[in-house]
Amino acid sequence: MIKVISMTKKGIIEEIFSKAKFADDPTLYRVFYRDFDSIRELPLLDFLKESNNFETIPITRIQLIKKNNKILFRKSVHELR
């Protein structure tokens, strides 16, 4: 029997953040998040400060995470509705 394990959106984002902070260069990462009717972009470390550990900006508002020009996470079209 094969067991399929899928990570939740929160798990994927937390994994990216953890890797960026502890095993990589966090300055290479950019976080795009919904701020009312617009999308804001911040470097990962600035996002973590501004979000106050996801207290002021919940993880559900993250739309996209990039490392350099590579997309690591993108909220699906179905979730944007």
Mind listing the pLDDT tens digit for each residue in 43-57? 999 999 999 988 999
Structure-derived torsion over alpha carbons of residues 28, 35, 62, 60, reported in degrees to the nearest 10 = 150
Tokens of 15: 């994994």
Residue 78: both structure tokens together: 């179905």
Q: Token pair for residue 59?
A: 């993880």
Give tens-digit pLDDT for 10-44.
Answer: 789 999 999 999 999 999 999 999 999 999 999 99
CB 59 within 8 A of CB 75: no
Instruction: Locate the domains of the chain by residue range.
Output: 9-75
Do 17 and 44 meet the contact criterion of CB atoms below 8 Å apart? yes
| Tokens coding 17 | 């953040």
